[in-house]
Amino acid sequence: MSAHLYIEGAESKEDQVRCREAFRTVIGKLGFAAGRRMPRLTACGGRNSAFDDFKTAHAQSKRGDYIAMLVDSEDPVVDGEQTWSHLKTRDNWDKPAGAEDEQVLLMTTCMETWIVADRETLRAHYGHRLQESALPPINDLESRGRHDVQDKLVRATRNCSNAYSKGKRSFEVVGKLEPEALKEHMNSFRRMERVLIKRL
């Protein structure tokens, strides 16, 4: 059996390496050791690239393989278990033949939601110049629009020497995130852990 996870969010080759390593670190902290249980990770470009890569791999997969993609939900999700229904409504993506909802792991509503969920890591990473009051409230994070979350994260770190931006700096923070903080505030992260434990 092979397991492969396609991840949205890195355009350049350098950022694809950073993206892959950041998510490998976070997933590893969930207890998935390198080798037997850690899925192979591929950092794709935008969400359409991740979907295209997923479809190709899914079509070529063998019985027992676990092929999945980790993408932003972009919008709040009505039912986190009905992932293909969400992607059909949001992106007009058709579920490939034989695909299951557990093959889609959603960052609800975006990667930055993961980041703002872990306030302790944010404080440690950005230091005393972090304007924590500018961050979105930690309750009901997954119901907040992605632009609201992203804009507030940028605003909260604007006075920091390593102010938040997409690319290298974003993956530096992701690699430091602690799963326990994300599980406390995010249903989608708890679902990801549950699905990976079941399927790997």
Domain enclosing residue 128, as ranges: 118-165
Query: Is there a single domain that holds both residue 39 and residue 104?
Result: yes
Query: Is there a single domain that holds both residue 50 and residue 106?
Result: yes
Model pLDDT, residue 130: 98
Query: Is there a single domain that holds both residue 76 and residue 11?
Result: yes
Query: Is there a single domain that holds both residue 103 and residue 130?
Result: no
Domain count, the chain: 2
Query: Is there a single domain that holds both residue 50 and residue 86?
Result: yes
Model pLDDT, residue 36: 58
Q: Which residues lie closer than 8 Å to 3 by C-beta, 6 or more apart?
A: 39, 40, 65, 66, 67, 68, 199, 200
Model pLDDT, residue 37: 82
Q: What percent of the chain has pLDDT over 90?
A: 90
pLDDT band at 35 (very low <50, low <70, confident <90, very high): low
pLDDT digits (tens, 9 = 90+) for 133-178: 999 999 999 999 999 999 999 999 999 999 999 988 999 999 999 9
Cα–Cα distance measured from residue 200 to residue 180, given in angstroms and rounded to the nearest whole number: 20
Average pLDDT of span 11-29: 94
Query: Is there a single domain that holds both residue 74 and residue 122?
Result: no
pLDDT digits (tens, 9 = 90+) for 71-98: 999 999 999 999 999 999 999 999 999 9
Give the per-residue SS3 of 85-145: HHHHHHHCCCCCCCCCHHHEEEECCCHHHHHHHCHHHHHHHHHHHCCHHHCCCCCCHHHCC
Planar angle of CA 21, 23, 29, nearest 5 degrees:
105
Token pair 């393989």: residue: 65
Query: Is there a single domain that holds both residue 44 and residue 85?
Result: yes
Query: Is there a single domain that holds both residue 106 and residue 127?
Result: no
Across the chain, what does the average pLDDT equal? Answer: 95
Query: Is there a single domain that holds both residue 54 and residue 86?
Result: yes
Query: Is there a single domain that holds both residue 96 and residue 178?
Result: yes
Query: Is there a single domain that holds both residue 157 and residue 188?
Result: no
Query: Is there a single domain that holds both residue 157 and residue 89?
Result: no
